[in-house]
Chains A and B, each alone.
Chain A
């Protein structure tokens, strides 16, 4: 009886897990097959006839290619850099300074950022950038994206900073280092894996963001890929699936490459930035 029940439970678990897995795998399978299909539909099917012409067509769309390989890289890269650097400095300050109500401040930051973002904040953000003359600039997009990601980024970074023993910094100071030397030589290298996690996370978020560049960027030559993908719609508004799938595949590659690089170089860890490297 027991064995039967055990098998039944296991079988049920495997079935449910497979179903959930299938649900997430299907779109990926489509993304890997459709770009090579001369007559792609919304179904997952073996490419027939197999072709690379879709990619040729995509590369002839210079607007979309510029959006992907210049504008998106600029905007997501800038956001990544800004978020990683500022989040690290802010998390360090928040961790090391003794301010009353420090933890409350950090939680409020994260809470507010998750409540007041996206669509709700779009009008004030647009007005703010308008008065700053940052509408239709890469910098404007980078600042808005960075601002939106910073609270969570600081929150993520704080765990890494907290795990750095104070004695590292104190020993550097007693060894004769200036505060800046101490930060550069001792704190930053130890925090690097954490910074990489936050950087990749920021890059992925900025890379996939549609709303903010769609509203802030006016001229076509500055639009990033998520906006430019609309150039693969016919004038009637129907998506050209062959081209959209090919463009989407190209669009996915940088993120995968970045993830693989950071994982190879630093390894992803979300807590305890220095575990294993320490004593």
Chain B
């Protein structure tokens, strides 16, 4: 699984560790990101994904481990020697400079002549369709335009690596969808290796070539969006991806059966490990009128029509289970519901949360 060898990655992290006092923010992370790849670091807040990004940028010094960019050990280099560009969550556009000066700043500090600076900023700005705003200050343009200006500043000196720190979280929902497509298109076009930090699983799924899912400073799983979605390596990853996320029902695995609260599902060939979790995505469940063999009994909790689909939630023992019905009609349901599992789509995790199948 493409982790941490220097040959197969453009950005390589080896045993990367960062402590803040007694807090371990990043814990022995090994990772290899290929040249030109769009890599998303996904995880809940406080999982260490932003710290990892800041370590790559050189804004934090690692406690242990090495960082390589393009085969060069950059662990002890200051940010300006790494030739990376970063887009910050708040864009960090300087309020006292016009957009022209903001976007041109990386060129200015590199001693590029004023004439060339203006020409190159114009070129990038035209590309991002903000060329008419170059005389304005950041406070005089909209949030979406500020975001483009921040991206333009990252593009202008043609860095080897793009680093994005939740760049869409300050945009409203509609703009965010637009910006998502725009950033993905742009990255394909310029082909610069990109590390993109987000806590929004939909954003990571939609944009990235590969996703690294982080929890508590460790990378729990690396893979393509579909791999991570279809075969989550741990219960945490399973519960983090998808909207709504995977249903997880605690029970026991014994004698080729999963035994849950009030039901048994035959799963030929499943190991008998005792306590376990049954995972099933909301779209892989359907509702039945009567108790069928292997159906899960539950108490109806809520029915939410969402337009193209209907989301039904039910109480199964202690667990809340969601069912996605791809229908516009509201189903007529009593208090008792039966949930039928597509047993080919069942995920099994052991008591520690590790994937069994």
A residues in contact (CB < 8 Å) with B: 165, 167-168, 170-178, 181, 185-186, 189-190, 192, 274, 276-279
Residues of B contacting A277 in the complex (Cβ-Cβ under 8 angstroms): 95-96, 137, 139
Instruction: Note all chain B residues with C-beta closer than 8 A to A175.
Output: 80, 85, 105-106, 109, 153, 157
Chain A residues positioned under 8 Å from B229 (CB to CB): none
Contact B96 A190 (CB under 8 A): yes
B110 touching A279, Cβ below 8 Å: no
Instruction: Give chain B nearest CB distance to A276 CB in angstroms.
Output: 7
- Cβ contacts under 8 Å, A170 to chain B: 54, 57, 59, 79, 86, 88, 92
| Measured CA separation A277–B146 after assembly (Å) | 14
Say how far A156's CB is from chain B's closest CB, in angstroms.
Answer: 20
18 contacts between A and B (CB under 8 A): A168-B94, A170-B54, A170-B59, A170-B79, A170-B88, A171-B88, A173-B58, A174-B58, A174-B59, A174-B79, A174-B163, A176-B80, A190-B94, A190-B95, A277-B137, A278-B139, A279-B90, A279-B146
Tell whether B325 is near chain A: CB-to-CB under 8 Å.
no
* Interchain CB contact (< 8 A) of A279 among B58, B86, B106, B138: B138
**Neighbour of A278 across the interface among B59, B95, B106, CB < 8 A:** B95
B residues 4-57 touching A (CB-CB < 8 Å): 54, 57
> Chain B residues near A171 (CB, 8 Å)?
86, 88, 92, 153
Known interface pairs A165-B90, A167-B90, A279-B139; A176-B96 also in contact (CB < 8 Å): no
How far apart are B299's CB and chain A's nearest CB, in angstroms? 48
Residue ranges of B at the interface with A (Cβ–Cβ < 8 Å): 54, 57-59, 78-80, 84-86, 88-97, 105-106, 108-110, 137-139, 143, 146, 153, 157, 163
Q: Which residues of A contact B108 (CB under 8 A)?
A: 185
A174 and B109 contact, CB distance less than 8 A: no
A173→B146 CA distance, assembly (Å):
19
The reply to whether A185 and B90 contact each other, CB–CB distance below 8 Å, is no
Give complex CA distance A19, B128 in Å: 63
* Closest chain B residue to A175, Cβ basis: B106
Among B109, B143, B153: residue with most chain A CB under 10 A: B109
Contact with A185, one of B54, B85, B105 (Cβ below 8 angstroms): B105
- How far is it, in angstroms, between the C-alpha of A223 and the C-alpha of B143 when the chains are bound? 56
**Cα-based distance from A17 to B95 in the complex (angstroms):** 41
B155 to chain A, nearest CB (A): 12
Once bound together, how far apart are the Cα atoms of A172 and B109, in whole Å? Answer: 9
- A13 to B: closest C-beta gap in Å: 40
Known A186-B94, A279-B91; 14 more pairs at CB < 8 Å: A165-B90, A167-B92, A170-B54, A172-B109, A173-B59, A174-B59, A174-B85, A174-B86, A176-B106, A177-B109, A274-B95, A277-B95, A279-B90, A279-B95
Residue of B with least CB distance to A167: B92
How many Å lie between the Cα of A178 and that of B58 in the bound state? 13
User: How far is B59's CA from A127's CA once the two chains are assembled, in angstroms?
Assistant: 48
* A178 (CB) vs chain B CBs: closest residue: B80
Output the least CB separation between A176 and chain B (Å): 4
How many Å lie between the Cα of A276 and that of B140 in the bound state?
Answer: 10
Q: How far, in angstroms, from A44 to B96 measured CA to CA in the complex?
A: 48
Cα A176 to Cα B146 in complex, Å, equals 20
Among A173, A176, A274, A276, residue most surrounded by chain B Cβ atoms (within 10 Å): A176
Ranked nearest first, the 6 interchain pairs of A and B with the lowest CB-CB distance are A277-B95, A171-B92, A167-B92, A175-B106, A176-B80, A189-B96
A178 contact set on B, CB distance < 8 A: 80, 109
Residues of the B chain whose Cβ atoms lie less than 8 Å from the Cβ of A165: 90, 92
C-alpha spacing A189/B98, complex, angstroms: 13
Give the chain A neighbours of B95 by CB distance below 8 A: 190, 274, 277-279
A45 CB to nearest chain B CB (Å):
50
Compute how far the CA of A11 lies from the CA of B109 in the bound complex, rounded to whole angstroms. 63
Which residue of the partner chain B has the closest CB to A176?
B80
Q: Please give the distance in Å from A192's CB to the nearest CB on chain B.
A: 8
Q: Are B139 and A276 in contact (CB under 8 A)?
A: yes
A176 to B59, CA, bound (A): 12
A177 to B58, CA, bound (A): 13
Bound Cα distance from A181 to B58, whole angstroms: 17
Q: How far is the CA of A172 from the CA of B146 in the complex (A)?
A: 16
| B80 closest partner in A (C-beta) | A176
